[in-house]
C-alpha cells in the first residue's frame, strides 16, 4: 500500500509506475539498436570508445537495461549478460527482443532480473567481470547505496562503465527557447530537481556534481580510470544507436556536454 510507504519509497514506487507506463512511448520514439552499445544522444558508441575491451567470455551485468538493447548487442559480441531493471514492462520488452534477435546459443547467454538497483538482493554477489549502464543512473536516488551494491556484484578484478546525463547539462532549462548560448535554469550545486511526468506524477531527480560522483565511487571501493565528456557527433552510427536528437538539440550540446561517461575499477 502506497500509504504505508515512507517518503523515499513513495517516490521510488512512482518512478517504477512511470517506467511501466512510459516504456512503450520510449521504445517507439527512440528505436534503439540492438546491434550497438550506446552511451548517449549523439554520442560515440562502444565501437568508437572501446571502454569495455574484448567482451568475449566475460560476464556482464547491465544496470537499468530497459529494453535490453545493449545487453543483446554485448551477447552478440560474445559476452554473457544479465540485464537488471525495476520496470516489468521494460523487461518484458527486453525478453521479447532477445527472443527475436538472438539465436538459441546466444539466448542461453542472456537473462533478465527484476530488481531495484538500490536493493539488488536477487542478483548474485562477486559474479561479474564488468558492470555497465547507459543513461539509467539519472534515476538513482541513493548513489552511495547504488555503488556499494554494484561493488558487491563485481569480481575483485572487475570494473564498471556507466553513462548518465552530464550534471552541467542539467543546469539548463530542458525546454530550449532557441537562444544561444543556452540559459541556465538551476544552480550546479542544487543537486536535486523535480519534474512532472505525463500522468502528473512528481518525479525527483538526484543530480550529483562531478566531485560528488568521484567521492561516492571512491567511498564504495572504486578507482576512477577514465572520465569522458564526448562532444556531439552526428555520425549515422550514433543516431542509429539511440536517436534522442529531439530532446537534446545538437546546437545546445555544442555548448554544454550532454553525456558523462565514467570507467572505474575495483580497488
Ligand X SMILES: C[S@@+](CC[C@H](N)C(=O)[O-])C[C@H]1O[C@@H](n2cnc3c(N)ncnc32)[C@H](O)[C@@H]1O
Please, which residue, 177 or 238, has the CB nearer to ligand X? 238
3-class secondary structure, 62: strand
Q: Which is nearer to ligand X, 122 or 227 (CB)?
A: 122
Between 88 and 117, how does the x/- string for binding to ligand X read (CB under 6 A)? --x-------------------------xx
Q: What mask of x and - would describe binding to ligand X in positions 42 to 81, judged by CB under 6 A? A: ----------------------xxxx--------------
Question: Residue 62 and residue 83: Cα distance in Å, rounded?
Answer: 5
User: Cell 567521492 belongs to which residue?
Assistant: 215
Q: Which of 93, 128, 139, 168 binds ligand X (CB under 6 A)?
A: 139
Helices (H), the chain: 7-30, 46-49, 69-76, 88-101, 104-107, 143-153, 210-219, 236-241, 250-253
* 135 makes contact with ligand X (CB under 6 A): yes
Q: Which stretch binds ligand X (CB under 6 A): 83-91, 176-184, 197-205, 225-233?
A: 83-91
Give the Cα separation of 240 and 118 in Å (integer): 31
Which one, 124 or 181, has the nearer CB to ligand X?
124
Nearer to ligand X, 83 or 267 (CB): 83
Rounded Cα distance, 191 and 197, in Å: 19
Burial (CB count within 10 angstroms: exposed 0-12, middle 13-18, buried 19+), residue 265: middle
The nearest distance, CB 219 to ligand X, in angstroms, is 19
Contacts with ligand X, residue ranges (CB under 6 A): 15, 19, 32, 64-67, 85-87, 90, 116-118, 134-136, 139
Amino acid at each position: 500500500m502506497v500509504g504505508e510507504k515512507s517518503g523515499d519509497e513513495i517516490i521510488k514506487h512512482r518512478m517504477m509506475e512511470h517506467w511501466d507506463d512510459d516504456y512503450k512511448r520510449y521504445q517507439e520514439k527512440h528505436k534503439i539498436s540492438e546491434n550497438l552499445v550506446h552511451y548517449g544522444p549523439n554520442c560515440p558508441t562502444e565501437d568508437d570508445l572501446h571502454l569495455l575491451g574484448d567482451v568475449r567470455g566475460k560476464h556482464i551485468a547491465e544496470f537499468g537495461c530497459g529494453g535490453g538493447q545493449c545487453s543483446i548487442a554485448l551477447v552478440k559480441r560474445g559476452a554473457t549478460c544479465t540485464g537488471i531493471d525495476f520496470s516489468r514492462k521494460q523487461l518484458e520488452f527486453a525478453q521479447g527482443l532477445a527472443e527475436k534477435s538472438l539465436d538459441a546459443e546466444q539466448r542461453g547467454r542472456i537473462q533478465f532480473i527484476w530488481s531495484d538497483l538500490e536493493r539488488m538482493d536477487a542478483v548474485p554477489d562477486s559474479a561479474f567481470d564488468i558492470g555497465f549502464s547507459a543513461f539509467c543512473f539519472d534515476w538513482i536516488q541513493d548513489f552511495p547505496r547504488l555503488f556499494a551494491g554494484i561493488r558487491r556484484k563485481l569480481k575483485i578484478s572487475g570494473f564498471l562503465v556507466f553513462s548518465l546525463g552530464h550534471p552541467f547539462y542539467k543546469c539548463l532549462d530542458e525546454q530550449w527557447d532557441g537562444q544561444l548560448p543556452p540559459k541556465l535554469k538551476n544552480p550546479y550545486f542544487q543537486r536535486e530537481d523535480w519534474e512532472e511526468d505525463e500522468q502528473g506524477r512528481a518525479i525527483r531527480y538526484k543530480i550529483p556534481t562531478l566531485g560528488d560522483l568521484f567521492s561516492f565511487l571512491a567511498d564504495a571501493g572504486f578507482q576512477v580510470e577514465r572520465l569522458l565528456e564526448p562532444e556531439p557527433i552526428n555520425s549515422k552510427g550514433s543516431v542509429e544507436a539511440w536517436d534522442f536528437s529531439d530532446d537534446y538539440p545538437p546546437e545546445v550540446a555544442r555548448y554544454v556536454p550532454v553525456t558523462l561517461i565514467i570507467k572505474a575499477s575495483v580497488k
